[in-house]
Amino acid sequence: MDAPLIDPFQRPVTYLRVSVTDRCDFRCSYCMSEDMTFLPKRQLLTLEELDTVSTAFVRLGLRKLRVTGGEPLVRRGIMTYFAAMARHLESGALDELTLTTNGSQLHRFAGELAGLGVRRVNISLDTLDEAKFARITRWGRLPQVMRGIEAAQAEGLRVKINAVALKGFNEDELFDMVEWCAARDMDLTFIEVMPMGDMGSADRIEQYWPLADLRAQLATRYRLTDLAESTGGPARYVRLEETGQKVGFITPLTHNFCESCNRVRLTCTGELYMCLGQEDRADLRPSLREPTAPPLEDAIRAAIARKPKGHDFDYSRQQVAGQMPRHMSHTGG
């Protein structure tokens, strides 16, 4: 392995999230507008190019790779990319290959993913109510996602449910969701809604359900024990003593998690974002396509040397500061 990637704040970069497509078969209202225009296919990195960039990161000390999007499982041929990454699992170069998915296609791919060495999958699910699910995802259907969850568990994949905490939408389902996950031996993580994409800041503040409130509600029914573990990301975990399950809180807005950040994000067009909450990015495409451009590993090192200290999201004055114009599906959640 070459010298590992260390950023200017002495944080090792060992975790890459790869958005393999900006497309999706859902239109979750907090993530996309209904009439999204997607990128022309020719602008996307090919599966081979995704492999080349990811493999360069592995050579530079990457230990964990998460595939996301858009909806990763709607990208045609995506299993070729998973198979390519599986070779790094087999060689021991990579510790973990995972994905974040809306679950809609999981019934088709769970077996293959498990066969390739994927052990865990994050599935996004904000409500257990069919009508509410159709409303929030606009195009999604709950029974199909349930089928995907069952398929994943049947294949032995460990499932974690990710739910965006939305005021006035799923507040009333807090305990139902906790118990539903506990009954199926699934961990559960709540995410604070983030100011991504321009869907109107007024809406964002109305939707914003601070996880400190959510946690306080949980504490009315369960004993919560803080867990020290951290994945180097924005999630903090507690154990519910009564159910034994782990509940996570992703709170980029109320707490600053940047000091331990170990990750960068690759978009489906080959841009590397060194921080989810900043606009600075490095275009790696020339290094893949133009013979006169700097070699890929040099371009990656130059980008990591610019990784900022942190983000600037702030809802504290009842206005959204630090709002990012791009959608979450572009950079990958």
Q: Which residues sit at the interface with ligand SAM, rule CB under 6 A?
A: 24, 30-31, 68-69, 71, 100-102, 124, 162, 164, 191, 193-194, 196, 328-329, 333
Report the residue number, 24 or 159, with the smaller CB distance to ligand SAM: 24
Beta-carbon contacts of residue 76 (< 8 Å; ≥ 6 apart): none
Q: Which does 209 bind (CB under 5 to 8 A by kind): ligand SF4, ligand SAM, none?
A: none
- Alpha-carbon distance of 19 to 16, in angstroms, equals 10
In the complex, least distance from residue 268 CB atom to ligand SAM, rounded to whole angstroms: 11
Q: Which is nearer to ligand SF4, 24 or 60 (CB)?
A: 24
> Going by DSSP bridges, is the β-strand pair 281-283/158-165 parallel, antiparallel, or unpaired?
unpaired
Q: Which of 33, 217 has the CB closer to ligand SF4? A: 33
> Per the structure block, which two tokens stand in for 69?
């999007």
Interacting partner of 323 out of ligand SAM, ligand SF4, none (Cβ under 5 to 8 A depending on kind)? none
27 binds, among ligand SAM, ligand SF4, none (CB under 5 to 8 A by kind): ligand SF4
Q: What are phi and psi of 314, to 5 degrees?
A: -160, 120
Largest Cα span, the chain: 62
Q: Give least dist CB 133 to ligand SF4, A.
A: 11
Please choose which of ligand SF4, ligand SAM, none residue 301 contacts, taking the beta carbon within 5 to 8 angstroms, the exact cut-off set by kind.
Answer: none
Q: How many residues does the chain have?
A: 333
Q: Is the distance from CB of 208 to CB of 193 less than 8 angstroms? A: yes
In 116-169, which residue ranges form alpha helices assigned H by DSSP?
A: 130-137, 142-154
Residue 194 interacting partner from ligand SF4, ligand SAM, none (CB closer than 5 to 8 Å by kind) = ligand SAM
Q: How far is the CB of 329 from ligand SAM (least distance, A)?
A: 5
- Kindly state the tokens that stand for 179: 């118990």
Of 9 and 139, CB closest to ligand SF4: 139
Instruction: Identify the residue whose tokens are 């114009």.
Output: 325
Q: Work out how close the CB of 297 gets to ligand SAM at its nearest, in angstroms, rounded to a whole number.
A: 28
CA 306 to chain centre: 22
Q: Minimal distance in Å, beta carbon 36 to ligand SAM?
A: 12
- Residue 296 interaction partner, one of ligand SAM, ligand SF4, none, beta carbon < 5-8 Å per kind: none
Closest approach of Cβ 72 to ligand SAM, in Å? 7
Q: Is 311:278 a contact under the CB 8 Å cutoff?
A: yes
Q: What are phi and psi of 152, to 5 degrees?
A: -60, -45
Residue 191 interacts with, from ligand SAM, ligand SF4, none (CB under 5-8 Å by kind): ligand SAM
User: Which residues does 33 contact at the CB level (< 8 Å), separation at least 6?
Assistant: 27, 197, 199
Q: Residue 47 or 328: which CB sits closer to ligand SAM?
A: 328
Nearest distance, CB of residue 28 and ligand SF4, angstroms: 3
Instruction: Show Cβ contacts of residue 284 under 8 Å, excluding neighbours closer than 6 positions.
Output: 53, 266, 270, 271, 272, 296, 299, 300, 303
Q: Under the rule (CB under 6 A), what is the footprint of ligand SF4?
A: 24, 26-28, 31-32, 69-71, 102, 124, 329
